[in-house]
Amino acid sequence: MSYSQVFRINSPTIIHEVIEGEAVIINMEKGHYYSIDHTGAGIWELVDKRASADEIIQSITQCYAGDPKSIQNSVIDFLAELQRENLIVPTSKETDDQTHSGNVITPNERLPFTPPELHKYIDMQDLLLLDPIHEVDESGWPNVGPDIN
């Protein structure tokens, strides 16, 4: 992963909310949902502000006490995990109308750095499969599904 890489939240498939330093993320297509802790929620908010990987590393390093190399590796690993789960997707900063501006974590807190963790929950997946009302497609008339001749 390039350190200059910028990501965006994979909306509208992904809906998310950060409250009091914790985040809930829901994948509307797969029925998975996630929680992330304080460090991870901070990274998530920086991604949402279209900060580059390098900017995120700098911000987290300034805000948390810890070995810079360990922080760098943890942030890169976490971004890669978010990407594997299709929660974030690469984008180019030039075309973005949202830009990173400042930290989302108060620097003077300087809490010890703990590696971010992505907690994944799949217990709703069956609901999504069972309840057909969620097969939403909202374009065109008539709107023919892929299995319709």
Interface residue list for other proteins (CB under 8 A): 11-12, 15, 17, 19-20, 22-24, 26, 28, 31, 33, 35, 121, 123-124, 127-128, 131-138, 141-149
- Give the nearer residue to other proteins in terms of CB position, either 30 or 93: 30
- How many degrees, rounded to 5, is the angle at CA 60 between CA 111 and CA 53? 160
- Give backbone dihedrals phi and psi of 122, rounded to 5 degrees, phi first: -120, 15
Nearest distance from residue 122's CB to other proteins, in Å? 10
What distances in angstroms separate CA 67 from CA 11, 52, 112, 121, 126, one per listed residue?
A: 33, 20, 10, 31, 42
Entry field: residues in the chain: 149
Nearest distance from residue 27's CB to other proteins, in Å? 10
Residues 6 or more apart whose CB falls under 8 angstroms from that of 132 comprise none
Nearest distance from residue 54's CB to other proteins, in Å? 29
- Give the nearer residue to other proteins in terms of CB position, either 3 or 121: 121
- Give the nearer residue to other proteins in terms of CB position, either 42 or 71: 42
Nearest distance from residue 127's CB to other proteins, in Å? 4
